[in-house]
Amino acid sequence: MKQFIIILTYSLFLLHSLNGFSQLPQVKSYYPSAGLQAKVLEYGFGEELFAPSLYYKATFLNNRGTYFSFGASAYPTLTVSPSNYKGTVIFGAELPLTIELYTNNIERDYFFFGFGVTSGYYAIREFDNLGGFGPHFVMGGSLPLLRGEIGYKGSFTYYRNSLQGTLGFYYQIGYGY
């Protein structure tokens, strides 16, 4: 009889604690953003190319905290230019994936930096292209603006024979989940 009471007490305690977990407020862990960036590519023997582009920033946070948070981001990027002038990229697509460390609260002004990999392809001229797979470094932050966050980021990428640097701005769209 004593064992039955102990087992029943532990079972009720376990059920009560599980019920408490289900009533916790939902914590947002996905932060979507859209932005514009300017990319400069060093190509070949010191030739520099300019590539304005649009990108989407999809960030997932694992442990949203007050001072530090770890996350993973993807930055799918699309570059299209109507000009085939010598120093302009005609078409480009890139997908950087990074692991990032965020300081401060992600829903207010924050700073982040991260490392990862990227894969991309750029059509430069009629028969000239650049593509590959390589390391990616990103850093940036945000400031509150009206009801949302406006962010800024800079990144460096290297693949094949090209060192690339970007500077961009983004705005958090939606509220994620």
Q: pLDDT digits over 83-138, tens only?
A: 656 656 678 899 999 999 988 877 677 899 999 999 988 887 666 777 888 999 99
From the list 162, 142, 163, the residue with the least C-alpha distance to 152 is: 142
On average, the pLDDT of the chain sits at 78
**Residue, of 15 and 55, whose pLDDT is higher:** 55
- 67 pLDDT higher than 80: no
What value does the mean pLDDT take over residues 31-53? 83
In the block, tokens 């949302």 appear at 148
From the list 125, 134, 128, the residue with the least C-alpha distance to 162 is: 134
CA–CA gap between residue 45 and residue 123 (Å, rounded): 17
CA–CA gap between residue 59 and residue 156 (Å, rounded): 19
Question: Per residue in 138-163, pLDDT tens?
Answer: 999 988 777 767 899 999 998 877 88
Sign of CA dihedral 167, 169, 173, 176: positive
From the CA atom positions of the chain, what is the Rg in Å?
23
Q: What pLDDT score does 159 carry?
A: 81
- 31 pLDDT higher than 80: yes
